[in-house]
Amino acid sequence: MMTRRLIAAAALLASAAALTAPAHAQQTIRLTAAAGHPPVFLWVKLVDEFFIPEVDKRLAAAGNKHKIEWTKAWGGTLIKLGAESKGIADGVADLGFVSTIFEAARFPSQNVSYYAPFGTDDIGVVTQVLNRMQENIPAMGQAWSKNNLTYLGGAALDAYHIWTNFPIHSVDDLKGKKITAPGPAANWIKDTGAVAVAGNLNTYYEDIKSGVSNGVITFATGAWGAKVHEVAPYITKVNFGAQYAGGLAINKRRFDKLPPELQKILREVGAEYSQRFAAAQTAAAEGLMKKMQEAGATISELSAAERKRWADTLPPIAKTFAADLQAKGLPGDQVLNGFMDGLKQAGAHPARDWAAK
């Protein structure tokens, strides 16, 4: 009798505990997000102000079974510019923006837009074309997975123009000038008589101020953040085109161990990050050009004929790019043709058909 009473009491206590205990204990997951650039630049700002809170919001809406405890490290405080992919792959950070423009050795095919300039200033089109290419061309997608990264969403920068401390009316005005250009953008002044100087957004201002260069090829949102217009007040709208600059990625081994529900949310928010970035970057570029003009910058636009002349002045940089990829066993021709076809199918009218010459 005593045994039966004890069993009954234990069962009653167990039932009461089941009623008062939560159906699922919340799992806390710690993730560190990092970037080489500071959040003054939109691609980082949007990770901080949209991606992270949106992931949190969707996790809460899904029942709060998982909660992320975020650590943020922007502006090179944890991973330096150009080393983001290795830092994330090695687990120094879990997630962040990888600037493929500065990591050509690891992402050779991703820089195709930089070797086929004068395409389109439509940021959304360039982003969509490159995102599709990375899905449809195995070698491009594998560039991420081989580096222990899972790609979440891409970003293209607003159209590149040229900021100088001297006026430009034609390609001829570049002769003898030193122009700072990031990575492959140095190809855009080949055979123009200008000399390319290496640099990035963190060095542009001092490069021009100190006389290391006479100007820089960059984009409005980057130029404003770096205050380039203060030392290079002549802005010539050449429209080298919007350029794919990189993407949001997460450590692959870390991602593969995350709950499927969280993986799905990260992918979905990453895709939306791409869309939101394109819209926000377009609006920001237009607004910041006006601000720079109000601050004293002189803005002029190169004529369509002079723009085409500039494009035709350049050597066949895209064909060389494709051939180099082919020599490394990568589908260079497929990458170049895919990019040019993607632009045309989207209604763009490139000043030069790089796949043809």
Residue 198 φ/ψ, nearest 5 degrees: -70, 145
Per-residue pLDDT of the chain (357 residues; tens, 9 = 90+): 444 454 444 444 444 443 444 445 789 999 999 999 999 888 999 999 999 999 999 999 999 999 999 999 999 999 998 999 999 999 999 999 999 988 989 999 999 999 999 999 999 999 999 999 999 999 999 999 999 999 999 999 999 999 999 999 999 999 999 999 987 899 999 999 999 999 988 899 999 999 999 999 999 988 998 999 999 999 999 999 999 999 999 999 999 999 999 999 999 999 999 999 999 999 999 999 999 999 999 999 999 999 999 999 999 999 999 999 999 999 999 999 999 999 999 999 999 999 997
How far is Cα 22 from Cα 4, in angstroms, rounded to an integer? 29
Residue 105 φ/ψ, nearest 5 degrees: -65, -35
Distances (CA, A) of 261 to 42, 55, 266, 325: 28, 11, 9, 37
How far is Cα 77 from Cα 177, in angstroms, rounded to an integer? 34
Q: Are 285 and 219 in contact (CB under 8 A)?
A: yes
How many CB atoms are closer than 10 A to CB 356?
9
Instruction: Please tell me the CATH code under which domain 160-242+297-345 is placed.
Output: 3.40.190.170
Q: Tokens 């990625």 map to which residue?
A: 249
Q: What pLDDT score does 2 carry?
A: 45
- Residue partners of 341: CB distance under 8 A and separation at least 6: 355
How far is Cα 318 from Cα 337, in angstroms, rounded to an integer? 10
Same fold, 27-157+244-286 and 160-242+297-345: yes
Q: Residue 85 is encoded by which pair of tokens?
A: 């992919």
Domain 27-157+244-286 falls under CATH 3.40.50.1820: no
DSSP one-letter code for 121: -
How many residues are recorded in the chain? 357
How far is Cα 250 from Cα 95, in angstroms, rounded to an integer? 4
Q: Residue 45 is encoded by which pair of tokens?
A: 């700002």
The alpha helices in the chain, defined as continuous H runs, are 2-20, 42-46, 52-61, 84-89, 123-136, 138-145, 204-209, 220-225, 252-257, 260-294, 304-313, 317-327, 332-345
Give strand pairing partners of 155: 246
Q: Are 124 and 278 in contact (CB under 8 A)?
A: yes
| Burial call 176-190: b when 16+ CB within 10 Å, e when fewer | ebbbbbbbbbbbbbe
- Per-domain residue ranges for the chain? 27-157+244-286, 160-242+297-345
Residue 245's SS3 state is strand
Record the pTM.
Answer: 0.85
Q: What pLDDT score does 24 carry?
A: 58
CA 195 to centroid of chain Cα atoms: 27
